[in-house]
Amino acid sequence: MTQEEINSTNWSQSVAGVCLKEGKVLLARHTYGSGNGKLIIPGGYVKFGEVPEETLVREYLEETGVRVKAGRLLGIRFSAKDWYAVFAAEYVEGEARSDGDENSEVVWMDVEEALKDETVPGLTKTMIEQALKETGFELTPYQTTKQGNFLYVGR
């Protein structure tokens, strides 16, 4: 990671996404930190000036070679120092591949297998289960004096 990338990253905001396609979920085997060796949903840190949905699209493409579109918000975790948001990641195009850096492999795994696999952490399993429910929060426009304002509301 370059110094410019380090300086442009908001280390207190991160996102991830659950991409489901034909009964499979896209997972990446992490290569560092507490997730080292685990199969997790792809994601990463928000850059300054980026909205979370843009981060999801960028991180997915960088880490997996797969282009996605951010869908509904599945869950969000807050702490005193940061937040982590998880979206449904709608598959657009691309062949899954490892980035050779942050992950050692990227796989389409059968959803039921992923929910039983010991190398898939609990948070990833919970978010897969939430994505399967097809509920969450939808991006919705609202009336204001400014144009282009949206918020997520439950459905």
Would you kindly state where each structural domain of the chain is located, as residue ranges? 3-154
Strand partners, 79: none
Is residue 73 scored above 90 in pLDDT?
yes
Enter the DSSP assignment of 134. T
Q: What is the pLDDT of residues 10-55, one digit of tens each?
A: 899 999 999 999 999 999 999 999 889 999 999 999 999 999 999 9
Looking at residue 149, what is its pLDDT?
A: 66
Q: What is the pTM of this model?
A: 0.90
Mean pLDDT of 133-138: 87
Q: What is the mean pLDDT of the chain?
A: 92
Looking at residue 154, what is its pLDDT?
A: 78
Dihedral sign computed on CA atoms, order 79, 82, 87, 91: negative
Looking at residue 65, what is its pLDDT?
A: 98
Mean pLDDT of 87-112: 97
With b for 16 or more beta-carbon neighbours within 10 A and e for fewer, the 60-96 pattern comes to: bbebbebebbbbbbbbeeeeeeeebbbbbbebeeeeb
In whole angstroms, what is the distance from residue 44 CA to residue 58 CA?
Answer: 9
Q: How far is CA 4 from CA 7, 8, 37, 55, in A?
A: 5, 6, 28, 17
Is residue 118 scored above 70 in pLDDT?
yes
Q: Which CATH architecture has domain 3-154?
A: Alpha-Beta Complex (3.90)
